[in-house]
Amino acid sequence: MISCPALMVSAPSSGAGKTSVTAAIARHARNSGKRVRVFKTGPDYLDPMVLARASGQPVYQLDLFMGGLVHCQQLLAEAAENADLILVEGVMGLFDGQPSSADLAAAFGLPVLAVIDASAMAQTFAALALGLQTFRSDIRLCGVVANRVGSAAHGRMVAEGLPANLPLVAALPRQQDLALPERHLGLVQALELPDLDAQLDRWAQAWGDASNGFDFQPVRFDRESAPAPRPLLKGCRIAVAQDAAFSFIYPANLDCLRALGAEVLCFAPIQGQALPECDALWLPGGYPELHAPALRANPHFFSDLASHLAAHKPLLAECGGMLTLVESLTDAEGVAHPMAGLMPGRAQMQARLAALGLQHIEWPEGALRGHTFHYSLLDTPLEPLARASNPNAGRAAEALHAKGSLRASYIHHYFPSNPQAIAAFFCS
């Protein structure tokens, strides 16, 4: 066992300010000279980008469905070896979903700090906090944060009725200028925010001014871990598109490829970089609809993709990566962009969410887990090679398409859920 101060930051609902509070705590601790590791509960790419900038370290997912208990345990134990503080941002509301943030907190004994948007309430704040504290007996709410309070008097008012064992850790004032911009999939990517570091420092200062020296309690983590995968991809060069158009990449996926023995070669198509000499290619999700002109302007990209597939080399295209391969992609303004034309079909962005949810899919090489989250619709004549199921009985059940050496789907796969299946595809 190894011990490290740790905390889960959760809330009654989405939109309460979990990310900004987690980032503020992380940046404040980092600015104080502490080594901070931050994790995100559940599937997410955009919040972790902000949290990584705040902490100065990569942010990994902790998901009991996608990765499993042992995988999450291993990630936490490895972080505890070298960190002075571990923070875990929850997902949605504390008890929402299966598995929920509360399930994760219970599994690892993480104390929970609840962030509550106090902007439209007074004494009811305490009633809501007490409900979170007593709803389940297997988690421990160690304190609450009143976010977006209107004044010092408002902050004192929301604290009325809180018991001694549930302190108001901080009352954070409402400051619209500290809010992060959003677009259809969530926060704008951290790499697109030139003033983000200065904003994170302002958040850290606000936390330091309001938090009254909150004491982080140590948590003990089990060092036992799963055996490393066999180097089934030894000698295999896998190219990975990585830039503002292809940014939805779990660090654990890259770790998995390297643990399997692969050489990972990242390149930036929208910067005009050519596809590296490789044996296989991964086009992850992102925002091709926002960068279609830059992708088209790259003199090598589409032709390199065509040559790659013509050579029967494996290509995995996920969500935005898949949309890059179709004949045309119509953006939210109704502009149709010609794309690579290597997969039959057309895609259309829309204002409404098209699909959201965890996914389980049976590849020919084995079962994989992941999630889906997109605003586009795809029209393709390809018959699905397989179709996913949603563990929460949701309607999202994405297709896996195949054409030659291409695999394409809206699913963002979590490679550690089945490294052997990933290796069998990429070395096929």
Contact call for residues 129 and 159 (beta carbons, < 8 A): no
Contact call for residues 294 and 347 (beta carbons, < 8 A): no
By CB atoms closer than 10 A (0-12, 13-18, 19+), residue 383 is exposed
Please identify which of the residues 72, 142, 256, 319 carries the catalytic annotation. Answer: 319
Cα torsion 206, 211, 215, 217: sign = negative
181 upstream amide cis, omega within 30 of 0:
no
Quick one: tokens of 158?
A: 């929301």
Distance between CA atoms of residues 318 and 374, nearest Å = 11
Q: Which distant-in-sequence residues (6+ apart) come within 8 Å of 7 by Cβ?
A: 25, 85, 86, 87, 88, 110, 111, 112, 113, 142, 216, 217
Chain CA centroid to CA 35, Å:
21
Distance between CA atoms of residues 24 and 401, nearest Å = 42
For residue 81, CA distances in Å to 71, 84, 86, 178, 254 come to: 16, 9, 11, 33, 21
The three-class DSSP label of residue 309 is helix
Contact call for residues 159 and 126 (beta carbons, < 8 A): yes
Q: What are the E-state strand segments in 36-76?
A: 36-41, 60-62
The three-class DSSP label of residue 124 is helix
Give the amino acid at 237.
R
Q: Reply yes or no on whether 4 is catalytic.
A: no
Task: Tally the residues of the chain.
Answer: 428
Contact call for residues 322 and 282 (beta carbons, < 8 A): no
With b meaning 16 or more CB within 10 Å and e meaning fewer, what string describes 291-319? bbebbeebeebbebbeebbeeebbbbbbb
Q: What are the E-state strand segments in 11-154?
A: 36-41, 60-62, 85-89, 112-117, 141-149
Residue where the block lists tokens 């198509």? 269
Catalytic residues: 319
